[in-house]
Chains A and B, each alone.
Chain A
Amino acid sequence: MKQISPDQLKDLIQGLQYRGYITIGPTLQNGAIVYSEILDINDLPIGITDSQKPGHYRTTQTNSNAIFNYVVGTQSIKRFLYPPIQKIFSAKFTEKKIEIQELDKPSQRYAFIGIRACELEALKIHDTIFSKSEFKNSRYTTLRHNSLFIAVNCSKAEKNCFCTSMNTGPEVKYDYDLLLTEINKNERHYFLLEVGSEKGEDIINEFDFSDADESEINEKYKVIEKTKSQIEKFLETDGVKESLLQSFESPVWDDIAKKCLACGNCTMVCPTCFCMTVEDYTDLERNSAERIQKWDSCYTLEFTYIHGGSVRVSVGSRYRQWLTHKFATWQEQFGTFGCVGCGRCITWCPVGIDVTEETTKIKKLSQLQTTSLEEL
């Protein structure tokens, strides 16, 4: 384990840029933490902290010089590896054939700075879906393969965090190239730096970073323990799959439907949601056409449209699909939960619907074998 100063972190970022990486890190935009290209350490949200509750998100400027003193921003790095709008091909119509022009293989190499344990776990889930299934999303696979992941151990938790329940954090344990732990103690601000891959090793070999001593190393575990102790939200995952699968007719769905606006925010901010739709366009004279894919949400009525009508008409059925997918059917499909406990869906729900509360309610009802919400 190494220890580096903020200036050395600045050098590290520059070093990545010299190596041709597009450096992506947290930035403050319109009052929220957003992953975006950074050119310099000063682009990072120095002194910014956040507060998150159901349906609530605020950032504030503090006097601290801490860089990573927030939990998770509006969106994960999903939008870089699996963009919200992505052209699939463009096409020209000729007498001979439909000439398809495929997109070039993506050449950009991203270095993601500041990504959290839960976000790495989400990345692993996307790897399973996009790179390990029968068909592959080659664009995602290439981009992801060429990327560098510099993770950060969370130094605080917020009200919506429940990574400990999902067993995804807060400690970053694997799948990183480099790992930072920010220490801000006794007027001293520094980062512990660990190497998790050959790629990461290769990069720090260029620098003359000094080793961390035992007391510094201990600080890492103090940070993790402190963060863990701040996590209040809890979701009992044992049996959640079974209870959801048994609760197809649960009164909870109608109850949620009274609040849920079916806006789809939860699916847009979710780091694992992967549904998309495909749209075809032509110019007015039909000389050229293109097909794009766009993130889609299972909360829309169009999502299940087959000729004659949509299958999931009620809002309750759409919420049920989403929640059941995340915590039950996802396991059958991909071997894990579709949730990493980042809490974004709770934070960005305009009416503050909380997945941990709803799953708990469903579980209790199925255990009590009652259909009365009042009995809870």
Chain B
Amino acid sequence: MIESLEKVLVQHPFVEGLKPEHISLIVGCAKNVVFEPGKYLFKEGEDANSFYIIRSGKVALEVYSPEKGSIIIQTLDEGDIIGWSWMVPPYQWKFDARAVELTRVIELDGNCLRSKCEDDQSLGYEIMKRLANVFDNRISAMRMQLLDLFGKS
């Protein structure tokens, strides 16, 4: 079981190129999870105990408003990761994440990952670099979204 998880994990762009010893470290925190369409991965305000690596499917990041219901901010799919609130205090989700389609993820336990990153800071730095790349892409995309490029100029 662990071995096959490792195989799946190394194929994911987020993990790609990570040293084998680091991979075996994080595999210890991992499990396979499937979300049916409509199921929430997590909801705003809940404790953020997980880091999700999407293998397939589609997840919507949403925020709920009483008048408008749930508003989708962004959708994420195969190859993306979800959630870094497990890494930053107070370790609480700031948004909802809902599976739009049948979604297969590898869920890494946040506490487990955090402590392994603390113990082996070279792993911690690797994870941080990869997350920084994700932040960079998400922020760029978000800035473009803010520009409302296709709106009336």
Contacts and interface: CB of A to CB of B under 8 A. Distances in A.
B4 interface: no
Contacts of A309: 153
Contacts of A308: 153
A97 interface: no
A307 B151 CA distance: 12
Interface residues on B, range: under 10
Secondary structure at chain B's binding surface: helix, strand, loop or mixed? loop
3 contacts: A307-B153, A308-B153, A309-B153
Interface string B130-153: 000000000000000000000001
Interface residues of A, number: 3
A162 B113 CA distance: 75
Interface in B97-153: 153
Nearest to B152: A308
Contacts of B153: 307-309
Nearest to B153: A308
The 3 A-B residue pairs with the shortest CB-CB distance in the complex, in nearest-first order: A308-B153, A307-B153, A309-B153
Nearest to A308: B153
B28 to A, nearest CB: 54
B82 to A, nearest CB: 36
A185 B114 CA distance: 101
A57 B153 CA distance: 46
A171 B153 CA distance: 55
Nearest to A307: B153
Contacts of A307: 153
B147 to A, nearest CB: 12
Interface in A290-326: 307-309
A243 to B, nearest CB: 35
A309 B153 CA distance: 9
B149 to A, nearest CB: 11
A228 to B, nearest CB: 55
B79 to A, nearest CB: 35
Nearest to A309: B153
A305 to B, nearest CB: 12
A309 B152 CA distance: 12
B42 to A, nearest CB: 41
A309 to B, nearest CB: 8
A313 to B, nearest CB: 15
Nearest to A306: B153
A255 B153 CA distance: 31
A348 to B, nearest CB: 37
B101 to A, nearest CB: 38
